Amino acid sequence: MITRVWHGWAPAAGADAYQEHFRTDVLRNLERVAGFRGAQLWRREDDGQVEFVAVTTFDSVDDVRERCAHYEVAEAGAPGRT
């Protein structure tokens, strides 16, 4: 099993719209990916900005690559990567 963590920020005025987009569009697309096991969206407000952290879980790194082919996947233990 592997977990992918994504961070993003939005102005407070647009944060509810992004949260709804995640719930309706992003999750719908993730549910179509083989090996997808679940997702959480965390939200933290700070000084007029909202930080979002999306945590998604898949069966394997290959499943992550299928969904996120344009992102670099850091292998565990790779120097300089977390």
If one counts every other C-beta atom within 10 angstroms of the C-beta of residue 70, the result is 5
Q: Answer whether 39's CB lies under 8 Å from 27's CB.
A: yes
C-alpha span between 56 and 36 (Å, rounded): 8
Range 2-67 classified under CATH 3.30.70.100: yes
50-66 residue pLDDT tens:
999 999 999 988 887 77
CA dist 80 and 70 (Å) reads 20
* pLDDT of 22 above 70: yes
| Model confidence, pTM | 0.74
